[in-house]
Structure 1
Amino acid sequence: MAAPLEVVVSSDSSSQLWNCTVFDLHSGSSLLSYRGGNSSARTLTVLNGEYLLSAQLGKNFINVWEIQRKDPQQQKIVFAEAIYLWEVSTGKLMAVLTRHYQDVTCLKFTDDSSHFISGGRDNLALVWSLSSVIQLDSNHVAEPRHVLSRHSLPITDLHCGLMGPQARVATASLDQTVKVWELSSGEMLLSILFDVAIMSVTLDPAEYFLFCGGTDGNIFQVSLCSQMLSRDKQFQSGDNGNQVFKGHRNLVTCLSVSMDGTLLLSGSHDETARLWDIQSKQSIRCLTHKGPVTNAVIMLAPANMFLPDSRPTLPLPRFSRHVHGTEGDASESGELCVRLGLYTQDETYLQKAATLNSLMNAVTDKSVFGDGENTKVRVAELEEEVQTLKKVNKDLYDFSTQLLSKPT
């Protein structure tokens, strides 16, 4: 069968029949199911279009499926209150980041993978530069690029928009606020106060609207294009495009928007996932589950998801439990380890843009005004041409004067 463009992938905490299921976005029909265990909230992801991964609920290992296979491979890895960063091609553990003081609740990469953002029960969201974390010096303690510390209670969810290091990030918290940040500077752009704690947050692709899932089952739509939008705002329904989606009976744990920005997917502890038409705010489909929904996401269907005879181009290695470099070098095992250069840490993206702009200006100046001796030669040639034109003009003037003064 031909793969649909977008699909819904969802999971719940019961795992009575399957871990997670793939649904057709427009018909709601079940296309594929993955067996084995159950998935923790906000852990379901696709790796390189070939593997589906999720953290096991309540246990310390990762479920891994080939994207077209129903049965998982288990990767048993011990976790603590830290962020673990592996190199997928080799399985090497590159870094363990212990900057959070309590459990990490959510983690997202930017669309260009240059940065990632982590949120935790310590009320903090940390912005990490990947190049500053992957280093040759294993003794160096990596520090986040920005510490987003304006929340007063644990962070429940976060969403990272488009444009790489220039993206905007939204964070949700039990303190009943959703805050929007500028990733490049770490500056808070907007804070919205709600009447209930917020458990999930997302933006539409155009970033016109912010969607926030509350503990009361409501989904709040906040317009980001209002002319009256202030930095600190309290949500009011019907105020400049703000709306409420009503239908869930329990807290909303996950949100996702389709590529064209017309459909909203939500998952709830009421054991349903709902698909909404954003313009009308109507629920157009309800996907029933056997337990509280832990993951519900709209994603592009990998090309080989529905091709049972296909195989991943590269096998997924076993993930190491020890940081690379602490137990022998890569040369001893004959493996090649690729790391980002340290020089990339010394210059921010804005500084790189300024450097590139100055180089472009230098090239433009050189092409327009010339360079050194060549400029002098060119000026001399132009001056000589001007003198020649002046002489020709004078000769024409004298000739015309003679013709006009000549008696008929």
Structure 2
Amino acid sequence: MPSENFIAATRAHPSKTQNGMLKDVGVYIHEIQPECTIRSSFKKGSAHRNSLAANSSHIFVAQADKAIVNVYSREKGNLEALVSFPERVHSLATAGESIVAVGLAEGRIILWEVSTGKQVSTSAAHLQIVDSLAATDIHILSGSTDSNIHVWSIPQLLGIPSNETHEPLRCFSNHQAAITSLVLGHSLGNSNICVSSSVDSTIIVWNYHSGQLLRTFLLPKIPLCLGLDPCDRAVFAGLEDGSVQMIEFLTLDSVKNPLYDIELQATPVQVKSTPWNPPTDVGSALAISLSYDGTYLLTGHESGKVYRWDTGHRRFSSQIVDFSSPVTNLKIELPFPKKKNLKICVVSKPKLTEQNYTLNSQFIQPLTTSQFDQTVLSYGFPREVLERAISQLSTTSHASVSTENQLKKENQELWKIINEQRAVQKATWDKYNSLRTGDT
């Protein structure tokens, strides 16, 4: 039976004490259903917001106020490695299975290939701390306390030689204060969106491929964390007073998507909908994460409590757990994870110098799949199917010319036979008529 789990990371709080079982524990894997319980726990972890990243084999946690990232093995259930960086680490994000993006205190980003140990560092494009990251397989977005957001190309960063300068594709500078959170839409095209929040109490929706501003929302409180609906219909913001603010992009009476209405893009919108309030004072909402189907969301609070909210009824649902330490990071995992061909058994620590890299991975299933699986699981039409169709069309055009010539030849032969038969028929008919009239 599939289960729904979430990963939580907490920040050590000197004024609070944990019970014996959870003492010194900072990272948890907690099951939501069918049974609500802690499945795994990892010690020696203390993280600020936006400092948790995970793939199918490992969990990466940047240690608060340190230049160290703890790497936990899911399979072994222990702390596998301590990875040091030249500066304090303030944010983490994964791009696919094998790349970890690291945001540093001096405004740089490091891309770390965990299967080979290769690392690439960008220039100090930000003037201050990089405290929020969001990534796809192609792009990385970095937000900083300098109020700017940079868009980076992963292929360019990993493909450019180290002696060349790494610069961002574009810079988004519409916020007026420090960036608190970044979330990316779920589209695969060039119209995919980014939703960013800031200490200036604004949430901005924009196209990170073009840098186009789509909408600006003004909130009464500072949003500290964001969660995006799986269909990109709404964004949920965890506010500094512990409440949750829902902002819908689509309305029932809208003829077209308001995000792409040019007349509305330049006008900031004051959010008037009532926020969802927790039942008790639990402190700021430091982390938020939505379920795979968007029917509920989880929030982590300063008090250590993790709350569940019903998005359909738009209200508080229940308390999941109390970790007794501020919950700074939450990540709900998919109950039906995508199957991977490769498994990273042991991470390779970053190498400061370029050298011959060794790929430390294990093949867990055949690399080739059936044509049916490739067709069903691919995005759009597979390249092989299109090439085969084009080839068949071109082959058909050449074959049709030769077939037409052959048919013309056969038609000429048939007409020749028909004309000969007509001549014989005419001669026979003439002879019959002459005999009928008595002529010899």
Q: TM-score, normalised by structure 2?
A: 0.70
Alignment gaps of 5+ in structure 2: 18-22, 88-104, 259-263, 338-342, 361-380, 426-440
Q: Which of residues 341, 345, 356 is equivalent to 1:314?
A: 345
* Letter matched to residue 107 of structure 1: L
1:89 aligns with 2:115: yes
Matched, 1:176 2:201: yes
Identity of aligned residues (%): 23
Identify the residue that residue 274 of structure 1 maps to in structure 2. Answer: 307
Q: Does 1:8 align with 2:6?
A: yes
Alpha-carbon distance, 1:292 to partner: 2.4
8 Å contact kept, 1:115–1:164: no
Alpha-carbon distance in 2 for matches of 1:188, 1:95: 29
Matched, 1:148 2:172: yes
Give the Cα–Cα distance (whole angstroms) in 2 for the partners of residues 24 and 251 of structure 1: 23
- Listed as ranges, the matches of 1:288-303 within 5 Å are 288-300=322-334
In the TM superposition, what whole-angstrom CA distance separates every residue of 1:27-64 from its partner, at most 9, and x where no partner exists? 432222111131221111223x2211100011110111
Cα distance change of structure 1 residues 393 and 136 upon mapping to structure 2, 3 Å threshold: same
Indicate whether 1:234 and 2:260 are aligned. Answer: no
Q: How does 1:23-102 map to 2 (within 5 A)?
A: 23-26=30-33, 27-47=35-55, 49-67=56-74, 68-71=76-79, 73-79=81-87, 80-81=105-106, 82-102=108-128
Instruction: Write the deviation string for residues 212-256 of structure 1: whole angstroms up to 9, x where unpaired.
Output: 122232211112222443434524445xxxx52211743322111
**Partner SS for 1:98:** coil
Question: What does residue 366 of structure 1 align with?
Answer: 394
The one-letter code sitting in structure 1 at the alignment partner of 2:212 is: E
Q: Does 1:252 align with 2:275?
A: no
- SS of 1:366 mapped into structure 2: helix
Question: Residues 12 and 290 of structure 1 are in contact (CA less than 8 Å); yes or no, is this contact kept in structure 2?
Answer: no
C-alpha contact (below 8 Å) 1:258/1:264 kept by paired residues: yes
Name the CA shift for 1:285/1:386 in 2 (closer, same or farther; >3 Å). farther
Q: Which amino acid aligns with 2:287?
A: C
Q: What residue number does 1:345 align with?
A: none
Q: Contact 2:8–2:331 (CA<8 Å) still a contact in 1?
A: yes
Matched to 1:274, the amino acid is Y
Q: What amino acid is aligned across from residue 103 of structure 1 in structure 2?
A: I
Alpha carbons of structure 1 residues 89 and 391: separation in structure 2 relative to 1, 3 Å: same
> Which residue of 2 is the match for residue 341 of structure 1?
none
Q: Which amino acid aligns with 1:21?
A: Y
From 125, 134, 138, the counterpart of 1:114: 138
- Amino acid in structure 1 at the alignment position of 2:331: V
When residues 391 and 257 of structure 1 are mapped into structure 2, their CA distance, relative to the original with a 3 A threshold, is farther
Aligned partners of 1:366, 1:283: CA distance in 2, in Å? 61
Report what 1:131 is aligned to: 155
Tell me which residue corresponds to 1:405. none
Mean Cα displacement is larger for which, 145-154 or 180-189?
180-189
Distance 2:180 2:411 in 1: 75
> In the aligned structure 2, how far is the partner of 1:87 from the partner of 1:141?
19
Structure 1: gaps (5+ residues): 304-311, 339-352, 400-408
Deviation at 1:283, TM superposition (A): 2.1
SS at match of 1:245: coil
Contact (CA 8 Å) 1:115, 1:165: kept in 2 or not? no
What does 1:327-346 align with in structure 2 at a 5 Å threshold? 329-330=355-356, 335-336=357-358
Deviation for aligned residue 1:288: 2.0
Q: 1:389 to 1:116 in 2, by over 3 A?
A: farther
User: Is residue 2:22 matched to residue 1:22?
Assistant: no
- The letter for the 2-side match of 1:193 is L
TM-score by length of 1: 0.75
The alignment partner of 1:40 has SS state of: coil
Give me the whole-angstrom Cα distance separating, in 2, the residues matched to 1:385 and 1:184: 60
Higher relative contact order (CA 8 A, sep 6+): 1
Paired position in structure 2 for 1:307: none
Conserved 8 A contact 1:64-1:74: yes
- 2:213 is matched with which residue? 188
Q: Secondary structure at the match of 2:156?
A: helix
- Secondary structure of 2:155's counterpart equals helix
CA distance in 2, matches of 1:181, 1:385: 66
Tell me the alpha carbon deviations over residues 249-299 of structure 1, each in whole angstroms, 9 at most, x when there is no partner.
433221110112111111222432211111112322223232322112211
Partners of 1:284 and 1:130 lie apart in 2 by: 40
Answer yes or no: is the 8 Å Cα contact 1:36–1:72 preserved in 2.
no
1:379 CA displacement: 4.5
> Is the contact made by 1:95 and 1:134 (CA closer than 8 Å) also made in structure 2?
no
2:245 maps to: 220
Q: Following the alignment from structure 1 to structure 2, what is the Cα–Cα distance between the partners of residues 313 and 302?
A: 19
CA RMSD of aligned residues (A): 3.7
Q: What is the one-letter code of the residue matched to 2:109?
A: I
Mapped contact 1:170–1:202 kept (Cα < 8 A): no
| Residues 46 and 392 of structure 1: CA distance in aligned 2, closer, same or farther (over 3 Å) | farther
**Cα offset, 1:107, TM superposition:** 1.1
